[in-house]
Structure 1
Amino acid sequence: MLRQRVLTAVVLLALLLATIFMAPSAMLVAVFALVGAIAAREWAALSTWARAPSVALGYAALSYGLVMLAWWAHTRSAAWLPALLGLSLLNWLWVAWALAGYPQRVRPSVQSRWGIVQGLILVVPTIVACGHLQARPEGAWWLLFALFLVFAADVGAYFAGRRFGRHKLAPLISPGKTREGAVGGLLLCGVWAGVGLWLFKLTGGPALGFVLLCAVIGGFSILGDLFESACKRIANVKDSGNILPGHGGMLDRIDSVVAAVPLFVLGLMALGLA
């Protein structure tokens, strides 16, 4: 099992790096849109409104089409991008409120047609944000930094939780997560922010804003993980799918990314860095 997990992770990382550093932005968006469509299909399969496989496949196709349409519009004018990313921010603020009232407040995401809209809000802004970031100067490094920021939050939370974890973060949703682990994740995000300051040569006011942004994004990354866990508990499933050997579903791999990347790009735009 461990060998399978490692092999899958190595292959995915190689494909990810090749896409980020070698593909033009339009191709990157097309590839990432396919990933998003797979995640959208899994999201639909969690719900009560799309139990039929044909409906879930149709939803995946809708997701792919909307991503490509949004990217086409973005190539004509990026002026509306803050509004799209702001929609993602509003969604994640709603998620924070919903998780505080789990399970009742989270049920609409799985058991009502609100989930149809929400699944698209999870996918579309994320892919467009990735394309926007990769298309800018040094964009491949910026995008890789954003994705590794999510990784830092996850790794920091895991090891700090194992070593110092005492108090449950959300026992009804994810009993293995602790408050100490969350703090560890945020601290490692701060360390990774320091790498970003050096890599992108940031100083002064933008540097401080950048560090604070990375810490906030670390928090949203944890929120994304908790939200998917909450939805899976309501749907009574362990994994969102089985497309990735040893890793479960695609949504299981990008649950934090869909929370972090759109808001990271929105924050960079607010700081005048994107």
Structure 2
Amino acid sequence: MLGQRIRTAVVLVALLAIVLFVLPRAAAIGILATVILLGAWEWSALAGLSGMAGRAGYLLACAAGMGWLWFVTSEAAWFELLLAVVVAGWILVFGWIVLAPARGPRWLAALTGLWALVPAWVALARLLAQDGRGAELVIFVLLLVWAADIGAYFAGRSFGRVRLAPRVSPNKTWEGVLGGLLTGLLVAFAAQAWFQLPALAFLPLCVAGVLISVVGDLAESMLKRQRGLKDSGRLLPGHGGVLDRIDSLTAAAPLLALGLSWLGLLP
């Protein structure tokens, strides 16, 4: 299983490098949108939309939201306002997770998916659209979140004792969260030196990004548990579905993009 996960990850990293550093910027942004729409297709099933018409409609709603918000956020002030509202909304999602209902209304699950997926794409796409350092900024966000995921996975397997949210995801532990923070900080220190940003502002941003990424992970875990599913899909061997790889990112990307904008890395 681990070997399969590693092989899939190597292929994904190679494809990501091509998308970010070889393809034209517009094509790369379009591919990011395609990944998000694949995630939306999986989320529609988690939300209980079983019919083809309902799931296709959900995809159209997601695509329309992406197009509209891309237009609206062309001004930096609107971009930052959107991200601030979205980050605040994740606090409400966290409250939903704490309640951990056995079942939730379909409309709430569907709305949460749009809240998670659409702004995450806008955040990453706006970062990528920046002249000069766009690809570097996206790589930083991805590395921070995925390094935290990897650290949490191995720390949880090796040292995990105290469960984080047993009613939502029994395998996640506080030791795993700590391991994710430590590996995330390694990326944060490297990025702080690379971008030459003030450590007192940048490092807390990275810690907050890692912590909110856990909320994104738990949100998907809760919906999977409500639907009796282990994975969101089967597209990625050893990893599950697209959502299983980007769930943490959906919560972290808006916060990190907002922080990078406040730190002056976005014009």
Q: Would you say same fold, with TM above 0.5?
A: yes
More displaced 10-residue stretch of structure 1: 186-195 or 5-14: 5-14
Equivalent residue runs for 1:258-269 within 5 Å: 258-269=250-261
Gaps of 5+ in 2: none
**SS in structure 1 opposite 2:77?**
coil
The answer to whether the 8 A contact 2:47-2:107 is kept is no
1:130 pairs with 2:100: no
Match in the other structure for 1:88: 86
The answer to whether the 8 A contact 1:29-1:68 is kept is no
- Runs of 4 or more, structure 1, over 6 Å off, are none
Match in the other structure for 1:176: 171
1:216 pairs with 2:211: no
List per-residue Cα deviations over 1:45-97 (Å, max 9, x = no partner).
Answer: 1123x21122112211321232133224434x333111221232122111211
Measure, in 1, the Cα distance between the counterparts of 2:184 and 2:51: 40
List per-residue Cα deviations over 1:145-180 (Å, max 9, x = no partner).
Answer: 110101121122122223322211111222211111
More displaced 10-residue stretch of structure 1: 90-99 or 212-221: 90-99
**SS in structure 2 opposite 1:175?**
strand
> What amino acid maps onto 2:66 in structure 1?
V
1:253 pairs with 2:245: yes
TM-score of the superposition, structure 1-length normalised? 0.89
Match in the other structure for 1:244: 236
More displaced 10-residue stretch of structure 1: 192-201 or 157-166: 157-166
Give the CA deviation at 1:22. Answer: 2.6
The answer to whether the 8 A contact 2:168-2:225 is kept is yes
**SS in structure 2 opposite 1:68?**
helix
Equivalent residue runs for 1:153-232 within 5 Å: 153-202=148-197, 206-232=198-224
Measure, in 1, the Cα distance between the counterparts of 2:120 and 2:146: 16
More displaced 10-residue stretch of structure 1: 3-12 or 86-95: 3-12
Measure, in 2, the Cα distance between the counterparts of 1:271 and 1:246: 37
Gaps of 5+ in 1: none
1:112 pairs with 2:110: no
Measure, in 2, the Cα distance between the counterparts of 1:57 and 1:3: 34
TM-score of the superposition, structure 2-length normalised? 0.92
Question: Could you say if the C-alpha distance between residues 159 and 8 of structure 1 is closer, same or farther in structure 2, counting changes exceeding 3 Å?
Answer: closer
> What amino acid maps onto 2:248 in structure 1?
S
The answer to whether the 8 A contact 2:109-2:223 is kept is no
Match in the other structure for 1:41: 41
- CA-based RMSD: 1.9
**SS in structure 2 opposite 1:255?**
helix
What fraction of aligned residue pairs are identical, expressed as a percent? 44
The answer to whether the 8 A contact 1:156-1:185 is kept is yes
